[in-house]
Structure 1
Amino acid sequence: MKTNHSSEFLGTEKISKLLFSFSMPAFIAMLASGIYNIVDTIFIGKGIGTLAVGGVGIVFPIQTLYNAFAQMISIGAASAISRSLGEKKDDCANQVTTNAYILTILISLLLMIISYFFINPILFFFGSNEELLVYAHDYLMISILSIPFNALALLSSAVFRAEGNIKVSMMVVLIGAVFNLALDPLFIFTLNGGIKGAAFATVIAQALASLFALFYIFSHRSIVRFEKKYLIPSLAISRSIISVGFSAFARNGATSLFALITNSTLRTFGGTQSITAFGTVNRIISFFFLPIMGINQGLQPIISYNYGARHSDRIKQALKLALIYTTIIGAIGSLVGILFPTMAIRLFVKDKQLISEATFVLRIQLLFYWTIGLQMVASTFYQSIGRAIPALFLSILRQFIILIPLIFILPRYTSLGINGVWYSFPISDFSAFLISAFVLWQAWHHLHIKNEDK
């Protein structure tokens, strides 16, 4: 097979230019996705009502769990593809790509079947009450159809990014976000589809994104190929993909578990209003989180390729710039939370009591948001070099190891009550920041030795 090393610029281009050119399209794509999440909530809140926002808030962590499985395969595959291309092992990159698509389809179909037959128990398990169930049920029942489309779009975007084709990677995400924005008002307002209309808009948009991605890779426009001889997944390749990608699964899975425990706690100590406030705030915070994720997505192929090519100095340069960019975005989030929380909340809800509670929640949750960038960069670094255990630890540190226990303990075993939930966020943010900084500092000083001994 004729090899194609058009991804070699990852090991030669100036790092500042490379990171900017990779991060900016990913940033735009994630920003568009974040804008969609914000506008979608506005449409649902204004067009259907506050309870519908609460119902979607219940479904959001379930969708995050679906994404966790998709991210497990896409992140693990992307890391392996970039490292293989850096080592000039193109055939190995093709095998990883093919195996990743097969695994994604199998897992997506299994999730659809489980979700369809156990939809109400799943919704109650994730914190729904009878008041929110009708909205959450209608939204999730239709959203189930988007599971394979969303997973294939996420995988394709990661594959294109891994080979250095960042613009096409951006297009996959943009198609989903832009069509969602266009279809939401059509289905909710014009066609009076209500909460079901919002879900149908998502399904159609994700289907279009995945079809574009599949057409691109099957028409042999990408560097890596989908090859028939690798249709039966290799156990070794699958294990490699899952072991590295498991940290991404754990991070997203911890997010779902955290939402489950938080919603359950809020249902006990605060009721429907607190659940709705939490769901609304989550959508706003995702607006700041997604650009940080976009920069980390741009960072991943740079680190992976140069790790495979043994260019440790280039990895350090990329890490420095990524830390600067993500910290600035996190600081902007903190400033919004401190200075303009009420203005942000009023975009979604009208109820004065809900606005008051959600404003307080947003201010508390964004207080130390400037620390999130370093935590994400540290986790991405270990994912990129194929170090599964440190990547897993850093991925679950904030939410699973620190935040979830605090949310469980503080409201129940202190006098804080419902405020114990909200105070858990700044405590966990700053604690995880200190630990992640220490782990990354150690890796920084041993990076050259590890690369040379690899």
Structure 2
Amino acid sequence: MSLNILVDTIFVGNWIGSIAIAAINVVLPVSFFIAALGMAIGIGGSSIISRALGANDPNKALKTFGNQITITLLLTVSMVILGLVFVNELIPAFGGMGDIFEPAKIYYRIVLYGVPVLALCMMGNNVIRAEGKPKFAMIAMIIPSLGNLILDYLLINILDMGMEGAAWATTASYICCFFYVLWYFLSDNSELKIDISHFGLDWPILREMSALGFVTLARQAVVSLTYLLMNNILFELGGEASVTVYAIIGRMLMFALFPVLGVTQGFLPIAGYNYGAENFTRVRESIKLALLYACGVAILIFIVIMAFPEAIVSVFTQDEAVLRDTPWAMRWVFAAIPIIGIQLIGSAYYQAIGKATPALLLTLTRQGFFFIPLVLILPKFFGELGVWISFPIADTLSTVVTAYFLWRETRNLTSSSTSA
């Protein structure tokens, strides 16, 4: 998924222009939030499915999966309709002003058509992992990345379709992913063979799914709000060029965090399954292993970013202003990345074991409770520097808070294991 977004940005930056990078950055929060509905429903339902399978309750797992499909379609289609109706209001609100507006509008309309398909892919991908089939889930994510790479080259470079080509490449790549996910659940690879009776909404399951999935949705909603604030603040401080700088940094931040989030997503069903089976020793081991891998990946990415920021930016664009301003800003944004795995794994743990309230609060600490207030206050004193230093300060504060709660919970698990 991170490669998919990254490829779009590189191709449009080199073949259309730096304004096109800013245009995609404006559209991303809207489509990202609607697609996040699918991710939230997938993660919330998958927590139930993992624990149901661990407790040997296949009927609850099947009913949960059917409800996931129904609610994903209802919500995402409704959001797409609203998104298309209010297109002229939403794009400027997310920073699509000046020269950015028209290319952003072109990209927005086409990408929005494919968002329900993307939501179903994200939902289905989480369910595949909940079944313990990570290789199939990985293939499901590789398909749109490769498809987007090929289609971007064909539609933008060969057919010269510009922003329309970039948008159709993204949409078509997720349609390919959807057909693969559909094949998986219809084949013998999946245990979840649902029928029409499972699609009827079950309110107790929906309540539990919503409580757990709301953690993910809230996180993605805060991400969308962050893009809205950043695009508007940076447009006021430096115009289209500053929005482009943030767009490139945002892509690299996604590219950096998605591998860490991948470890987090792999951790969720393992922790949930073993917690449901009351195997607390394995839950504790999975926490340690997830932290090791998440922080290890983050450290490697940190080293690359700090060593080669100029080379990385030059891949996206040759715009002199962007090449000049992006590297120093990128170093500030990534300064605390090595420790971010602790915050992500810590909040995900509470989500995995079904404790929605602490999961929600810990998820919101980073961008909701710390970053947004900082980015509203610090630029008034430090200008653009205030925007960039808000990132490492928020990362550090949220990690300290999450680390404390995770440490306390690990002690409780040790006590439970000893008692057992």
- Given the two structures, how large is their TM-score scaled by the length of structure 1? 0.90
- Identity percentage of aligned residues: 32
1:393 alignment counterpart: 361
- Match runs of 1:146-165 below 5 Å: 146-165=114-133
Paired residue secondary structure (2:160)? coil
What CA RMSD, in Å, does the superposition of the two structures yield over aligned residues?
Answer: 1.6
Matched, 1:341 2:322: no
Amino acid at match of 1:237: I
Matched, 1:42 2:6: no
Q: Decide whether the 8 Å contact of 1:67 with 1:252 is kept in 2.
A: no
Q: Decide whether the 8 Å contact of 1:399 with 1:428 is kept in 2.
A: yes
Matched, 1:58 2:20: no
2:246 alignment counterpart: 278
The 3 A distance-change label for structure 1 pair 126 and 47 is: same
For 1:56 and 1:340, the matched residues in 2 are separated by 24
Q: Decide whether the 8 Å contact of 2:48 with 2:64 is kept in 1.
A: yes
For 2:209 and 2:120, the matched residues in 1 are separated by 16
How many pairs does the alignment contain?
420
Q: Which runs of 5+ in 2 are unaligned?
A: none
Q: Decide whether the 8 Å contact of 1:267 with 1:274 is kept in 2.
A: yes
**CA apart distance, 1:199:** 0.6
Q: Decide whether the 8 Å contact of 1:247 with 1:383 is kept in 2.
A: yes
Which among 130, 141, 154 is matched to residue 109 of structure 2? 141
2:260 alignment counterpart: 292
Matched, 1:73 2:33: no
- Match runs of 1:134-213 below 5 Å: 134-213=102-181
Matched, 1:419 2:385: yes
Paired residue secondary structure (1:271)? helix
**CA apart distance, 1:220:** 5.1
Deviating above 6 A after TM superposition, structure 1's stretches of 4 or more consecutive aligned residues are 450-454
For 2:299 and 2:393, the matched residues in 1 are separated by 17
Q: Decide whether the 8 Å contact of 1:97 with 1:225 is kept in 2.
A: no
**CA apart distance, 1:168:** 1.4
**CA apart distance, 1:42:** 1.2
Q: Decide whether the 8 Å contact of 1:364 with 1:426 is kept in 2.
A: yes
Q: Which runs of 5+ in 1 are unaligned?
A: 1-32
- Match runs of 1:250-265 below 5 Å: 250-265=218-233
Which among 402, 410, 415 is matched to residue 444 of structure 1? 410
- How far does the alpha carbon of each residue in 1:282-312 deviate from its partner, in whole angstroms, 9 at most, with x for none? 1112111111111111111111110110000
Matched, 1:241 2:205: no
**CA apart distance, 1:327:** 0.6
- How far does the alpha carbon of each residue in 1:313-366 deviate from its partner, in whole angstroms, 9 at most, with x for none? 001111111111111111122222322111111111112221121111111011
The 3 A distance-change label for structure 1 pair 220 and 228 is: farther
**CA apart distance, 1:452:** 9.6
Q: Decide whether the 8 Å contact of 1:411 with 1:421 is kept in 2.
A: yes
Matched, 1:362 2:320: no
Paired residue secondary structure (1:109)? helix
Paired residue secondary structure (2:378)? helix
Which among 290, 293, 317 is matched to residue 325 of structure 1? 293
Q: Decide whether the 8 Å contact of 1:218 with 1:226 is kept in 2.
A: no
34-43 or 132-141: bigger deviation: 34-43
- Match runs of 1:100-119 below 5 Å: 100-119=68-87
Matched, 1:127 2:66: no
